[in-house]
Structure 1
Amino acid sequence: MSSSYDKFQKRRLISSYFSVVLSVFLVLFLLGMLGLFIINSKKLADDFRENIAMTVFFKNEANDTIIKSFDAELKKAPFAKTFEYVSKDAAAKQHTDIIGEDFVTFLGENPLQNSFDIHLKADYVYRDSIAKVESQLRKNPMISDIVYDKQLVNLVNDNIKKVSMWILIISGFFTIIAVLLINSSLRLSIHSNRFIIKTMQMVGATKAFIRKPFVLRSVRLGMIGAGLAILALIGVLIYLESNFPDLGLLDDQLLIALVLISVFALGVLITWLSTYFATQRFLNLRTDDLY
């Protein structure tokens, strides 16, 4: 009879451990995914900004020397990420390919101008910053016009701000849920041992002595759950990198390492705090309140 009861207790204990590890794993995995999304969201936002092109048109009297001089300036300019020179002949060919007719032959001359397509660095694709860049470039007397989509710049920045705000709200919401779920699982685990806790207290064991094995056990379970979450996150990153290499998810390895370390630390911290307060609660209860 006692053997059957011992087996039942062992199965219940294993089930309790498994539920704690599973809840820690799932919650930390979701938080880790959210963390990885946050650190890559800036990269994605920067990519959106840097895809907005600024086109600088030169007057017809601008000769090759002026063009080469401007090219050299752009190479040294802190705001230019990439740029490409588009001659008027190349621009005419592009337009001919698009519309399907040779408009140069029809008009008798090429009305287009030599130009540079400049992609600015993300830090300069803001309303004030890009206006300063435009003002600086317009000081060149050989530049006839500068064209870029001002509405798109404002729209991209406004939407990025909104998305960033919602990401922060969702992050905070998920963090609270994570703490509550892990805390709930650990409290249920401690609740099943409430009589053992009170018996140890009645025979003279100190609160610190009673808490220690429960805290250590929960921290170990938290470390196991966090370790599994880290392995799962690494697997997801490797899968996405192999299938979508253009995203460059593994470029910033320092931030990725920081997220993984934070996941592990969070798993240890939440399980330690939850177990500490759960055991403290039962230690402060009267014997009659245990029922």
Structure 2
Amino acid sequence: MSSSFEQHQKRRLISSYFSVVLSIALVLFLLGLLGMLVLNAKKVSDHFKEQVVVTIFLKDTAKDVEIKQLEKSLAMTDYVKSIDYVSKEQAAEIMKAENGEDFMDFVGYNPLQNSIDIHLKADFVTTEQLEKMAADAMTRNFVDEVTYDNDLVNLMNNNVQKISFWVLVISGIFTLIAVLLINSSIRLSVYSKRFTIKTMQMVGATKQFIRRPFVWKSVRLGIIGAILAMAGMGVVLYYVNQTFPELSLLNNPTVMVGLFVVIFAMGIVISWISTHFATQRFLNLKTDELYY
């Protein structure tokens, strides 16, 4: 009978530990994902900004020397990331591939123009910079037109600011939720031992002596939960990097390692603090208050 009761208590204890570890792991995992989003938000926004194309259309009278000089001067600027010269023949082939038919069969000639496609560095994708660059290009007499999607640029910059603000707000909320959930799970675990705590206190054990095994047990559970969370984060990071290699998420391992260290430390610190205050609460209760 006694053996059966002990096994039952042991199963309950294991179940309690499992729920604490699972709670810590899930909360830290979600917090880690949010951290990855925050750390890579600028990189993601920069990637989309650098997809904006500024096209300089050239007159048919433009000489090769003039075009080369323009390309060289653009390449030497601080705001240009890459330059692609597209001849009118290449442009016709691109349109043919996109439309599935040769429009020159109907027109009878190639009405397209030679052009230079420019991708700017993300920090310079602003309306002011684009207008300045377009005005500078138009000073050359062999440039016919400069085009870019100004509405898209404005929309993108406005949305990046809004998204950055809300990501920070959500990060703060998630951090608070993480602390509360982990604290709640650990308090429930300590609550199940409240009579043991009071018994030890009644036979003369000091508060520090009683608290120590509970704190170390919770810290070990926090470490296990943090390791599980980091393993999940590693899988997600690897999958996202394989799916979207252009984001280059693994190009800055120092930042990622720093995030993993923070998540690991949070698992330890939150577990330690929560257990300390939970045990302190039950140590300060009177015996008759343990039943409420």
Relative to the length of structure 2, the TM-score reads: 0.88
Give the corresponding residue for 2:255. 255
What residue is the counterpart of 2:286 in the other structure? 286
Pairwise CA distance, 1:215: 1.0
Query: How far apart in 2 are the matches of 1:132 and 1:52?
Result: 16
Q: Could you tell me how far 1:154 is from its partner in structure 2?
A: 0.6
Partner of 1:43: 43
Going from structure 1 to structure 2, the CA distance change for 1:263 and 1:10 (only over 3 Å counts) comes to same
Which residue is equivalent to 1:195? 195
What residue is the counterpart of 1:19 in the other structure? 19
Task: Give the aligned partner of residue 269 of structure 2.
Answer: 269
Helix, strand or coil for the counterpart of 1:62?
A: coil
Further displaced range: 184-193 or 93-102: 93-102
Deviations 1:92-133 (A, max 9, x none): 5545664633279646xx554432100111111122333333
Give the percent of matched residue pairs that are identical in Structure 1 and Structure 2. 52
Distance 1:11 1:103, change over 3 A: same
Superposition pairs of residues 173-184 of structure 1, within 5 angstroms: 173-184=173-184
Give the counterpart letter for 1:225 in structure 2.
G
Contact 2:58–2:144, Cα closer than 8 Å, also in 1: yes
Native 8 Å contact 2:47 2:247 kept in 1: no
Pair 1:193–1:94, CA change in 2 (3 A): closer
Distance between the aligned counterparts of 2:191 and 2:61, measured in 1? 86
Q: Does 1:119 align with 2:130?
A: no
Taking the TM superposition and a 5 Å limit, the aligned residue runs for 1:54-69 are 54-69=54-69
| CA-CA distance at 1:18 after TM superposition | 0.9
In the TM superposition, what are the counterparts of 1:139-154 in structure 2 within 5 Å? 139-154=139-154
CA shift in 2, pair 1:212/1:111, >3 Å? same
Query: Is the CA contact (8 Å cut-off) linking 1:92 and 1:104 kept in structure 2?
Result: no
**Structure 1 residues 141 and 276, CA gap change in structure 2 (3 angstroms):** farther
**Structure 2 gaps, min length 5:** none
- Stretch moving more, 222-231 or 8-17: 8-17
Q: Secondary structure at the match of 2:57?
A: strand
Distance 2:76 2:152 in 1: 27
Change (3 A) 1:270 1:51: same
CA spacing shift, 1:102–1:29, aligned 2, 3 Å = same
Amino acid at match of 1:102: M
Deviating more after overlay: 164-173 vs 208-217: 164-173
Q: Would the aligned equivalents of 1:20 and 1:185 in 2 still touch at CA under 8 Å?
A: yes
Q: 1:29 to 1:105 in 2, by over 3 A?
A: closer
Q: Is the Cα contact below 8 Å between 1:96 and 1:102 reproduced in 2?
A: no
C-alpha contact (below 8 Å) 1:56/1:115 kept by paired residues: yes
**2-structure distance, mates of 1:235, 1:112:** 48
Instruction: Select between 268-277 and 51-60 the one with higher mean Cα deviation.
Output: 51-60
Amino acid aligned to 1:101? F
Quote how far apart the aligned CAs of 1:255 are: 2.1
Which deviates more from structure 2 when the two are superposed, residues 150-159 or residues 2-11?
2-11
Higher mean alpha-carbon deviation, 210-219 vs 96-105, is at 96-105
